[in-house]
Structure 1
Amino acid sequence: MSHPAQIKIPAVYMRGGTSKGVFFRVQDLPAAAQQPGAARDALLLRVIGSPDPYGKQIDGMGGATSSTSKTVLLAKSSKPDHDVDYLFGQVAIDKAFVDWSGNCGNLSAAVGSCAISMGLVDNVLQNGIAIVRIWQANIAKTIIAHVPMTNGEVQETGDFELDGVTFPAAEVQLEFMDPAAEEEGAGGAMFPTGNLVDDLEVPGIGTLKATMINAGIPTIFVNAEEIGYTGTELQDAINSDTAALAKFETIRAYGAVRMGLIKHIDEAAKRQHTPKVAFVAKPLDYVSSSGKQVHANEIDLCVRALSMGKLHHAMMGTAAVAIGTAAAIPGTLVSLAAGGGERSAVRFGHPSGTLRVGAEAQLVEGEWVVKKASMSRSARVLMEGFVRVPGDCF
């Protein structure tokens, strides 16, 4: 019996923010996978090691968490005034499913430097800060990355510290332009229900106050105390509780229907990456997952968010954009937890520590508009070369 040989595909394995994933140039993929569709999905699933009924992704590049089961496709941009097109695929761990419905804000921090290294960006500075204009193809938005350069090479080492990442690295500033999603929900409104706060009826759980926002990524915010939490929980408190995870998934499904993202709650299972669900609370002292003490007077509020059905170990970059945007708009649950009023930046506590995100909101003809959200992350190449997969996997 003959067996297919493995093929090798040029790839870069990178950390971006508190996530990591496998990066490809679209032109380096096998011809059948250079276009969206079943072949591309099958290839990426095999690269990452999914679906894996053991939940470990041992036979692939994935790390068996939502933060490490990620793929990125890059190409020279087809859009005017942009350098690179960036497409993100969130790979399910135990299902044969790649979710293309949203962006990864953390890996966005690696896109600019990876694109430069792959030769996709023209006229790069030898020294200084290179400005890379990224077209985020999943959500049709512009991200501007400020990438440090030294002697014509991306500078990756530095002293910038990011909670959730063990070692310091070079700072990469990101600007998410017009972060309110256009294609999501009710005509692309930032608040698809038309309200800053809604009463969200969730059968079996009750009626919860909820802020549902399209900014960075569609996100459903609820109050921690309404669902029995303090907002200082770490991963084990949630992820070891199957009843809690089921509760959050039910909230997510009914919120997705109210946001117009799906028509029926049954569709939520095939849209795992979006929307996110998060819970907020006023500032409290707690000890982070690394043992670091977080003091209430150092933060404006506490936030915990779930990704792909589990509590995130830190904070998704796109959810951080949603937090910053909602905090800038008086009356949202996020703003109220942070003390109310107008603000242009917020520092929140998450399981791994703290994060600051900026956003400036304006009320224009009765509608809230946010032109830009910004934050600092870091990125680093972990390995580059080739990934190998069986030649018949796609």
Structure 2
Amino acid sequence: MVQPKHLPEDRAQWDKVFLGAIGSPDPYGRQLDGLGGGISSLSKVCIVGPSTRPEADVNYTFVSIGIRGGSIDYSSNCGNMSAAVGPYAIDSGIVDIAPRNEEGGDLVTVRIFNTNTGKIINSTFPVVEGEAAASGDFTIDGVAGTASRVQLDFIKPGGSRTGKLLPSGNVTDQIAGVQATLIDAGNPCCFVSAAGLGVDGVLSSQQIDDNASLKQKLEEIRREAAVKMGLANSIDDVPGSVPKIGFVSAPKDTSVGNVVVRAMSVGQPHKAIPVTVALAVAAAANVTGSTVAECVVKSSEDGEPGIDINHASGKLTVGAEFDEEGHLQFATVFRTARRLMEGKVFWKT
């Protein structure tokens, strides 16, 4: 997390600052000479500052940093990092929202304008004695321990990059010989069925990583989908971060979730599911005939409007609300975030 006031006035200098701080490019893929962790989910920068928009408290720009090649990608948002923006805005003093009950804490909402997608995210979380609460009993599959819950409401997330929930105008398209649903909610995404790929839908992230032909096929589909969605003019100039791609299947037992999803992130199999991909799954689950909707299984006891997504590390609950005309009004997901450290980061050219 960094504020614009702490960066060079010349924005053309920002990229080399980010690369130098994170430790890219690193031909060994480890980012030992920087703050990165050698995987896509740890090679990120968030720029957060005050907003002049009446509907927002802060502006937030997400930057994805390539590991080996050192690419700089501003083309998408990150849902997991979005969870940290609200607490950071409070703790760093960008937003002054004093709690109404300092003894027990209280919920506050920080309105975030994401510059990557042009969308508003409402982040709601408890504040204790003027700081975002860190302790709590909320758990997330794939994340150790418990923490305070952060509720993220993505307001009208449809068309984040393309202007339409279904960028091609179709519920499904034939992409690289496979039936796919192309949807833009939170981030542009492409969903294909595991059966269409001829693979087991519950592969682990390691099994996916070991399957070179599967990864190659998924990247081929992703690049063709990008052109179909209008995100690139050719398969050679497709951004690394969008569209996201995942394969879906129906659960054998609804106790593990209502739909099974395995997602890729910048060429790597994700060990859980990116939040923005989960939002797109929730939206696609409500589109009759989509590859996702065809795999959703709900038991008679499921009375909640949201769905549980089974990912490589467990389950994630996510909900999407549509109006009577079928327009996506908002999508909601719950995460955690806490302050780990603050201070100076030294970078090199």
Superposed pair shares fold, TM > 0.5: yes
- Provide Cα deviations, 1:96-142, integer angstroms capped at 9, x if missing partner: 21110010001111100001111111333243001100001110000
TM-score by length of 1: 0.84
Q: Partner of 1:281 in structure 2? A: 249
| RMSD of aligned alpha carbons | 1.7
Aligned partner of residue 279 in structure 1, secondary structure: strand
Higher relative contact order (CA 8 A, sep 6+): 1
Aligned partner of residue 48 in structure 2, secondary structure: strand
Aligned residue pairs total: 342
Q: In the alignment, residue 226 of structure 2 is paired with which amino acid?
A: A
Please state if 1:192 is matched with 2:162: no
Q: Partner of 1:287 in structure 2? A: none
Q: Partner of 2:292 in structure 1? A: 334
Question: Does the aligned pair in 2 maintain the 1:161–1:168 contact within 8 Å?
Answer: yes
Please state if 1:43 is matched with 2:17: yes
1:86 to 53, 56, 60: 60
- Provide Cα deviations, 1:204-229, integer angstroms capped at 9, x if missing partner: xxx21110001010000000011122
Unpaired stretches in structure 2, ≥5 consecutive residues: none
Distance of 2:332 and 2:44 partners within structure 1: 22
Distance of 1:99 and 1:340 partners within structure 2: 37
Q: Partner of 2:315 in structure 1? A: 354
Please state if 1:106 is matched with 2:84: no
Question: Does the aligned pair in 2 maintain the 1:175–1:372 contact within 8 Å?
Answer: yes
Structure 1 position 385, deviation (Å): 1.1
Question: Does the aligned pair in 2 maintain the 1:50–1:91 contact within 8 Å?
Answer: yes
TM-score by length of 2: 0.94
Please state if 1:96 is matched with 2:54: no
- Provide Cα deviations, 1:269-295, integer angstroms capped at 9, x if missing partner: xx10110011000003xxxxxxxxxx5
Aligned partner of residue 389 in structure 1, secondary structure: coil
**1 or 2, which has the higher strand percentage?**
1
Q: In the alignment, residue 175 of structure 1 is paired with which amino acid?
A: D
Q: In the alignment, residue 351 of structure 1 is paired with which amino acid?
A: A
Distance of 2:171 and 2:336 partners within structure 1: 32
Aligned partner of residue 27 in structure 1, secondary structure: helix
Structure 1 position 246, deviation (Å): 1.6
Structure 1 position 327, deviation (Å): 1.0
Structure 1 position 241, deviation (Å): 2.6
Question: Does the aligned pair in 2 maintain the 1:330–1:340 contact within 8 Å?
Answer: no
Matches within 5 A, 1:257-336: 257-268=227-238, 271-284=239-252, 296-336=254-294
Question: Does the aligned pair in 2 maintain the 1:331–1:340 contact within 8 Å?
Answer: no
Q: In the alignment, residue 211 of structure 2 is paired with which amino acid?
A: D
Question: Does the aligned pair in 2 maintain the 1:357–1:373 contact within 8 Å?
Answer: yes
Structure 1 position 386, deviation (Å): 1.1
Aligned partner of residue 243 in structure 1, secondary structure: helix
Question: Does the aligned pair in 2 maintain the 1:328–1:343 contact within 8 Å?
Answer: no
- Provide Cα deviations, 1:65-93, integer angstroms capped at 9, x if missing partner: 11100100001012113111000000000
Q: In the alignment, residue 242 of structure 1 is paired with which amino acid?
A: A
Question: Does the aligned pair in 1 maintain the 2:97–2:108 contact within 8 Å?
Answer: no
The worse-fitting range, judged by mean Cα deviation, of 353-362 and 52-61 is 353-362
Q: Partner of 1:17 in structure 2? A: none
Q: Partner of 2:27 in structure 1? A: 53
Structure 1 position 330, deviation (Å): 2.1
Unpaired stretches in structure 1, ≥5 consecutive residues: 1-22, 285-294
Q: Partner of 1:135 in structure 2? A: 113
Q: Partner of 2:150 in structure 1? A: 172
The worse-fitting range, judged by mean Cα deviation, of 331-340 and 151-160 is 331-340
- Provide Cα deviations, 1:40-69, integer angstroms capped at 9, x if missing partner: 111101111001000000101001111100
